[in-house]
A and B are shown apart, each in its own frame.
Chain A
């Protein structure tokens, strides 16, 4: 029979197009919201962060948008490349301090040639 397991949300984009990955967070008290990228078989890698008092931050080919009204975070990747294929996680750091991050479940970004 067919096994049933947890499936990540998947976003499939054409190479060269822009990608938008979305995330809903839960803790309004978080100081920072962060995006991590995880390639197959590797540990997560930091991409970009945004502080709670900002609504937009740009990095190299990436932009993060924060909408605190609806508790929504998004990651935009410009001109998506094959190397962008990975699982992307949003995370938040709670109330601050060194007490670890709370991660979302992740989105699998697939790049079509």
Chain B
């Protein structure tokens, strides 16, 4: 039982490049989330998916897109990376009965130069 896995662990992009961050969970959770964490800050919600087939914007969605590929997988895409998107990205999942108890992946550290 791996929990929540994320790939890659580290990535460096040049401004304007695109990339997709991958996330998968094996806990059969309905809900999945993408957060970003900047130095000295709490986590901010980018997008979430309450169930397979649905996605919604969070607090800071600009510059990102998401795909809920199936119940297990939720990807985050940066179409044209900007230095302001330099951050650590965390994927999380949760079950409907205890939606506040989220399980987080190890994070992807992204630097945009």
Contact = CB atoms under 8 A, between A and B. Distances in A.
B102 A98 contact: no
- Of the candidates B41, B43, B103, B106, the one having the most CB atoms from chain A within 10 angstroms of its own CB is B43
Instruction: Classify the secondary structure of A's interface with B.
Output: loop
26 contacts: A6-B39, A6-B40, A8-B40, A34-B100, A34-B101, A42-B106, A42-B107, A43-B4, A43-B90, A43-B106, A44-B43, A44-B90, A44-B104, A46-B102, A93-B99, A96-B99, A99-B50, A100-B45, A101-B102, A103-B44, A104-B42, A105-B40, A105-B41, A105-B42, A106-B41, A106-B42
Contact of A6 (B41, B90, B102): B41
A93 B100 CA distance: 6
Interface band, chain B: 20 to 34
